Each structure stands twice: as structure tokens, then as C-alpha cells.
Structure 1
């Protein structure tokens, strides 16, 4: 009996040690976030072992788990008709409200996140989100199933989203789905926010596209890979759900380069003062000018005097606005529709979204910055048991409310 009790106490101690992660007191429901982080770390370990043993690709287990978080929903319901189809050869899921409205419906192109490597709208929380948006907005939601890393690399995911978007924006296609061409928007979260922002920029300057977006709504978007030491990257580098190192790894996988560049990029060697390729864009990622002093706090810019130009020579996409929308020229930004940008205090990507909002405002674009002091990356999907989070409920409600008012 004593042995059993001792083993039980030891296992409980080890479990508590594994689960516990020091978190800021302002984060929403920290113990739930710790449990989720422990679950994700376990999945990552299983994924690493499976990859090492040659049982799966290095993202297969992650993708399975990521896609199945949340209740599976695959069929049409009384409120929402769901179609799995293709636009211009790109797979999409179309969620159509079945409400008998008098006029035409809103339309939204949605781009899911997942580091360009994970996620699907066919099941899990992205499926639930598509359904809720279609129902609450009385809308047609086109969620793009772009091809994923490592099967493809940049610019393929961007090109997939652009192709599907241009197909949907054709007047005859909008008419088929009974969508008002004056009430179409684009939205996405995280890496999907990256793709949504880049596609919105291209649509705004493409004179061959007659229907333009009325709004863009970006949820904690990733928008640049030149500075991995912004205040939010420094402050939140070990925060669940997205560590700084993991974000750099996602970038390296997306752009298809040597993972050995990881450490150099973590310390900004790729943008050192002697790397002349970045001179023309430094001001576009200068957080000392683009962020309010309250968010800069005690953090200092990390600028190396000597670095490696080899990284930018191998990765010219780091300066490509299709990959890094924050680097767009002012005249491109000025043509964009009004924006909603959701950011979270406890997220490495916080400053990407805030800097983009500032650059848009400076270019004359109306922007609503919706910032959550108790928020964390991905919080908008933690809205049901067992992943319920109060900040997630508030964020989701405010996001849909903004679309209702502005689209």
C-alpha cells in the first residue's frame, strides 16, 4: 500500500512538473493554457519520435491532431449548407447560410492558419468557425484548402489562395452564390492572416479584377520575418501556443531553406547593419517608430553590426511582399479596404499586427485594432469544452460583430 501511494505521489509530482509553465498573471485562465500546452508538447514529442523512426512525415502527427481539435463537423445542417468543391483547381469548402434573406448575402474568403503546414476546414474548429460565420453573418464563406508545407513551398500556398479568390470574385460566380459584390471581404488567422493580407494587396492593385474587397479582417497575423526580436517576440518567446523558435521554424519550412539558419535568424543576423539588401525596408519593420511606447517597455532593438548576407541570398522571399505583407509600399497599402486587426498581448505575433495597423493608418486606411490584454495566440478557437476560454469567447464575438457592422 505504501509503495502504491509513493508511486502515485511521484507520478502526480511528475505530471504537475510537466504541466506547469510559468505564465504572466494577466493571461486568461492560465491553468487551462498550461494543460493545453502540455498536450501540444506531448503531441510534438510523439511526432518527433514517429519521424525519427520513419513512421511518418515530420508534420503528419501534428496535422492529424491539429485538424481534429474541436468537434468534427462534415455535413450540411438545417442552418448551413456545406460544399466541398474546387475554385480554379484549388480545393475550397463553401459554407452557405440557408436563411431566406430578401437581399443578397455577404461573402467572405477565409484562410486558415497553421504555420502554412497544418490545418483544414473539413473538420475541427475551422469547420465550426465556417459554420458559425455563415449562420451569424447570413453569408457565404469560402474557406480555401490551400496546399500545405512540406508538400509545397512558397509561393504555392499564396498562389492557391489568390487563384481561388479571383475565381470567387468573378461577377458570375458571386451571382451564382447570391453574394452582393459590394459586400465581400477576406479574413484569416496567423499564417492564414499572412496569406489573406498578401492576397488583399494583390487584389487591390489588379485592374483585371472588377470586384474589390470591402473589408479585410486579420486575426493575430504573421507579417514579417526580418525581426524576431520585436518587443512581443522578446516578451513572449516561451509562451504557449506559439514559441518564438517554432515561428522561425515555420518560416524556414515555408520558404524551403536550410534549417541551420535558425540560430542566426533568432538573433537577427540576417538583418545586420552590413546586410545591404535590407536597407530599403528597415523603416517598415522599425518597431521603435511603429509601436506605442507603452508596448516597447524596457525592450531594446536587436541589431547586429555584422551578419550574414548568405541567408537573404538563399531566401530572397524574406523581402517579397507576397510572403511578408508588412513590407508593402505605402501606395499599395493606400488602396486596401478598411481593416480589422486582432492582436493578443501574450503572443509573439502581437507586434506584427500592430505595426501593420499603424502602416495602414499612415497610408489613410481605416483600421480597428482589437487588442486583448489577457489574450494568447489562437485564443479565438477556445470557445467550447474542453478548450473553453473567456478571452476566446470575447474575441470571437467581437470579430463577428465587426463583420456584421462593416460588411
Structure 2
């Protein structure tokens, strides 16, 4: 009996140690975040173990674990018809609300899920619930894009999938098929999905073959640049649960098909040092000393390396690709963009990406609404649905 009591005490202590993470006092319901983070870390540990023994790529295992418990079939309700189909070879899930009296045209929202370009799904219960709620609450046709993931494909294939599906959807005959008002079209995404949404929006506005344009982009804690991993939010939230700085760097390297051996060089900005001429002009476009408010900068200082690691740039040339980092797009590209909504969270390494993009868009003359949540953290939208708040602006 004493042995079992000792083992139980030890197991309880180890579980508490694994679950507990020191969190800022401003976070509401911190234990929920701790439990979510512990669950995610447990899945990561299992996937890394499988990878170590050569059973499968760690991201395939992690995706399998996530999807095994989370994916749902397209089930229609009394108010929303749900179906899976293909747009130009890309899988999508469509949510269509009741036609309503008079058969009025509806809004269209193109949604792109997050997950570091490697995880998540339009079929996931969380995103299915989110898109279903949006469709019903704001009377919008919602098209959730099931783009291909790392490690099966890498940049720019995820972007190509989203672009192909979006371009197909914007065809006049397709809009008419779904009774969509061509003047009320939005594109949105969270995290890596926000990255893809921002990049696709930049491409669509410059594509002369697309006659119907997106009228609103809504970016939810988006990841928008890979040149500076020492912005104030990266320094402040280095070890925050769900998405730490090191995890974000590894997601980037997986997306761009780079080696994880470069991660430590990128942690200290060696990949964009002052002796790498290609990056100097681009770094000026994310000069956070001028783009961020004082309340965000606090006492943090910019980190520029005089001598860096040019082999990172040479081996991962997509580091300089504006399609991967829409924050560093030139002003003439930003000038063409539609009305924009940006949501950022204080306890998120990506806070400054979204804030700097909002500022650059404002400077380019774009109508921008930026909502910042002081008690928010990365991924919080899937805890409390903020959909009605920002999509009602469309």
C-alpha cells in the first residue's frame, strides 16, 4: 500500500511538473492554456520519438495524432449546408447558409486554417465549428481551403494551392453558382493561414486576369516575416506555451525545406546580418523601431549581426521571397490592397508581425482596423470564437 502511495505521489508530481508553465499574470484562465500546451507537447514528444526510431516523419505523426481525434465529416444542419468538393484540383469545404427571403446575394469568406503550414485541416472539428458559426452568424458562404501540408510539399506549394482555389472561386460563373455578392468578398486566415491569406491577397490584387477582387482581408495573429526573430514580441514571448520562438523557427525551416541545423543561427539573426547585402534593404521594411508603438518596444533593442551566416541564405533562398514574407512587400504592392483587419495578442511571438503590417498598410493609405488583445495568446481564437466580431465588418 505504501509503495502504491509513493508511486502515485511521484506520478502526480511529475504530471504537475510537465503541465505547469510560468505564465504572465495578465492571462485569463492560465490553467486551460497549460493543459492545452501540455497536450500539444505530449503529442510532439511522441512524434519526435517515432521520428527518432525511423517510423515516420515527426510532422506526419503529429498530424495523424491531431486528426485522429479532431476530423469530422461534412454534416449539414438546419441552417447551413456543408459539403466537400474540389476547386481547380484543390480540396475545399464549403459552408452555405439558408438562402433566406428574397434570395439576396451573400457574403463570401475564403478561410485558410493555421498550423505552421504542416498541421491542421479544413476538416478539423475546431475549424469546421468556426466556419459553420461564421456562415450562420453573418449569412456568408465560407470556403475553407484544404491545402497540402509539410512534409508532403514545401513552399510555395501551400501558397499555390490557396491561390489556385481562390482564383477559381473568384470566377464570375462560380460566384453566381453560390449566389455570392462580388462586392462582399473577404479572405482570412489565422497564424500560418494568415500568412497565406496576406500573400494570396497581394498576388490577387496584382493579377490582371482576375476581374473580381477581394474586398477585405482579415488576418488573425498572422506570421508575416522570417528576417527578424528578435522583434520585441519574439524576445518577450520566447518560451510562451503553444508557440515558442524556437518552434516558430522550426516551422519556418520545414516550410521552406531548410535544415534544422540553421535554427540556432536564425535565433540570433545571423541569417540577415549586415554583411549579407541582399537583406539590408528588406530589413528596412520591417524597422520595428519606427513601426511599433513604445508600449510594444519597451526596453528591447534591435539585434543586428555585423558578421553572420550567409550559408543559411544560400541554402534557403526562399528566405528572401516576398511571397513567404508578405510584410516586406514594396509599398507599390501594399497600395493595391483592400480594407484590412488585423488581430494580435500580447502573449504571442507573432504580435509584432501583425502590428508592423498594420502600420505599413496604414502608411500606404489602406483602411486598417487593428484589434490588440492584452490578455490574448497564440491560438486563443479557437478557445473563444471572435468570428462575429471581425467578419461582421465585411
TM (norm. structure 1) is 0.94
Query: Deviation of residue 67 (structure 1)?
Result: 3.3
State the match for 2:53 in structure 1.
Answer: 53
State the match for 1:108 in structure 2.
Answer: 109
State the match for 1:156 in structure 2.
Answer: 157
State the match for 2:62 in structure 1.
Answer: 62
State the match for 2:338 in structure 1.
Answer: 337
Equivalent position SS for 1:342: strand
Query: Deviation of residue 99 (structure 1)?
Result: 4.3
Indicate conservation of the 8 Å contact 1:111/1:144, yes or no: yes
Confirm whether residue 260 of structure 1 aligns to residue 248 of structure 2: no
Q: In structure 1, what is the Cα distance between the partners aligned to 2:44 and 2:101?
A: 46
Q: In structure 2, what is the Cα distance between the partners aligned to 1:79 and 1:202?
A: 34
Q: In structure 2, what is the Cα distance between the partners aligned to 1:244 and 1:267?
A: 11
Query: Deviation of residue 69 (structure 1)?
Result: 6.0
Query: Deviation of residue 38 (structure 1)?
Result: 1.0
Q: In structure 2, what is the Cα distance between the partners aligned to 1:65 and 1:364?
A: 44
Between 100-109 and 337-346, report the one with greater CA deviation: 100-109
Equivalent position SS for 2:108: strand
Query: Deviation of residue 54 (structure 1)?
Result: 2.6
State the match for 2:391 in structure 1.
Answer: 403
Indicate conservation of the 8 Å contact 2:134/2:391, yes or no: no
Query: Deviation of residue 55 (structure 1)?
Result: 2.6
Confirm whether residue 280 of structure 1 aligns to residue 293 of structure 2: no
Q: In structure 1, what is the Cα distance between the partners aligned to 2:136 and 2:213?
A: 23
Q: Deviation digits for residues 209-239 of structure 1, max 9, x if unmatched?
A: 1111111000000000000010110111110
State the match for 1:191 in structure 2.
Answer: 192
Query: Deviation of residue 189 (structure 1)?
Result: 0.5
State the match for 1:211 in structure 2.
Answer: 212
Q: In structure 2, what is the Cα distance between the partners aligned to 1:266 and 1:373?
A: 25
State the match for 2:245 in structure 1.
Answer: 244
Matches within 5 A, 1:7-406: 7-67=7-67, 72=72, 74-102=74-102, 103-382=104-383, 393=384, 396-397=385-386, 399-404=387-392, 406=393
Query: Deviation of residue 77 (structure 1)?
Result: 1.6
Between 275-284 and 59-68, report the one with greater CA deviation: 59-68
Q: In structure 2, what is the Cα distance between the partners aligned to 1:401 and 1:42?
A: 33
Q: In structure 2, what is the Cα distance between the partners aligned to 1:322 and 1:258?
A: 20
Q: In structure 1, what is the Cα distance between the partners aligned to 2:382 and 2:196?
A: 19
Q: Deviation digits for residues 27-69 of structure 1, max 9, x if unmatched?
A: 1211111111111111111111122223332112311333356
CA spacing shift, 1:380–1:260, aligned 2, 3 Å: same
Gaps of 5+ in 1: 383-392
Indicate conservation of the 8 Å contact 1:79/1:99, yes or no: no
TM (norm. structure 2) is 0.97
Between 26-35 and 196-205, report the one with greater CA deviation: 26-35
Query: Deviation of residue 262 (structure 1)?
Result: 0.8
Between 143-152 and 96-105, report the one with greater CA deviation: 96-105
Equivalent position SS for 2:285: helix
Segments of 4+ in structure 1 off by > 6 A? Answer: none
Query: Deviation of residue 15 (structure 1)?
Result: 1.3
Q: Deviation digits for residues 274-302 of structure 1, max 9, x if unmatched?
A: 11111221211111111011110111111
Equivalent position SS for 2:345: strand
